[in-house]
Amino acid sequence: MTAELVRGQNHSLSQVRLEVRVSAGKPIVAGATLSDEQGKVRGVEWVAHPGAPTLPGLEVSKQAAADHRLAFDLDALPETVHRVSVLLALPSGVGGPVRFGAVAAPFVAVTGLDGSEVASYTITGLDAESAVVALELYRRQGAWKVRAVGQGYAGGLAELLTDQGLPEAQQLAGSINEAVVQGLARSVAAPPPRTPDGDRSRQAATSAPGPDQPYTGPQGSAGHVAPAPLSSSPYDAAGPQGTTAPQGSPAPDPSAVTQPAAPTAGDPINYSHPGRQTAAPPPPPPTAPPAPPGQPAQPVAGDATGWSMEERLYNQVWGMFEDLARTAAAYRSAVDFADSRMEQELDKVLSDPRSRIGGQGDAAREAAQAKHAQLVDQARAALDRDLAQLTAEADVVEPALPAAYARWDNPVWHGYRVPMEIPMALRLGDLHLPESEGLSIPMLVRLPLERGLWIDSGRAGLDGSLVDSDEVRRLAMDTAVAHAARLLAVYPAGEFTVHVIDPAGSGASSLMPLVQSGVLDGPPAAGAAGVADVLARLTQRVDLVQMAMRGGAADSLPPGFDTAEQLLIVNDFPHGFDDRAVTQLRYLADEGPAVGVHLMMVADREDAAAYGPLLDPLWRSLLRLTPVPDDHLADPWVGHAWTYEPALVPAGSQVLQQVLAQVAAARRPWNR
* Whole-angstrom distance, CA of residue 514 vs CA of residue 651: 17
Give the pLDDT score at 672: 55
* Whole-angstrom distance, CA of residue 270 vs CA of residue 561: 14
Give the pLDDT score at 322: 86
Give the pLDDT score at 244: 33
Give the pLDDT score at 646: 93
Give the pLDDT score at 121: 92
Give the pLDDT score at 293: 62
Residue 82 DSSP symbol: -
Do the beta carbons of residue 77 and residue 84 sit within 8 Å? yes
Give the pLDDT score at 573: 81
How many C-beta neighbours within 10 Å does residue 376 have?
18
Give the pLDDT score at 670: 60
* Whole-angstrom distance, CA of residue 6 vs CA of residue 120: 9
Cβ burial, residue 82 (10 Å; 0-12/13-18/19+): middle
Give the pLDDT score at 248: 36
CA distances from 27 to 190, 372, 415 (A): 16, 49, 33
* Whole-angstrom distance, CA of residue 527 vs CA of residue 63: 48
Strands of the sheet with 453-456, listed across from one edge: 496-501, 565-573, 597-603, 453-456, 623-625
Count of positions (residues) in the chain: 672
Do the beta carbons of residue 349 and residue 355 sit within 8 Å? yes
pLDDT along the chain (672 residues), means of 10: 83 90 87 88 90 88 84 90 93 71 88 86 90 92 90 91 88 85 44 38 32 33 30 35 33 40 38 38 53 68 86 90 87 87 80 67 82 90 92 94 94 92 93 89 91 82 59 92 95 92 92 93 90 93 87 74 90 82 89 92 78 70 89 76 90 91 84 58
Angle (CA) 543 549 555, round 5°: 105
First-residue to last-residue Cα distance in the chain: 28
Instruction: Verify cis geometry, omega within 30 degrees of 0, for the bond prior to 50.
Output: no
Read off φ and ψ for residue 661, nearest 5 degrees: -65, -40
Give the pLDDT score at 192: 38
* Whole-angstrom distance, CA of residue 44 vs CA of residue 173: 10
* Whole-angstrom distance, CA of residue 8 vs CA of residue 10: 7
Gyration radius from the chain CA atoms: 27
CA distances from 465 to 447, 456, 460, 607, 664 (A): 33, 15, 10, 19, 38
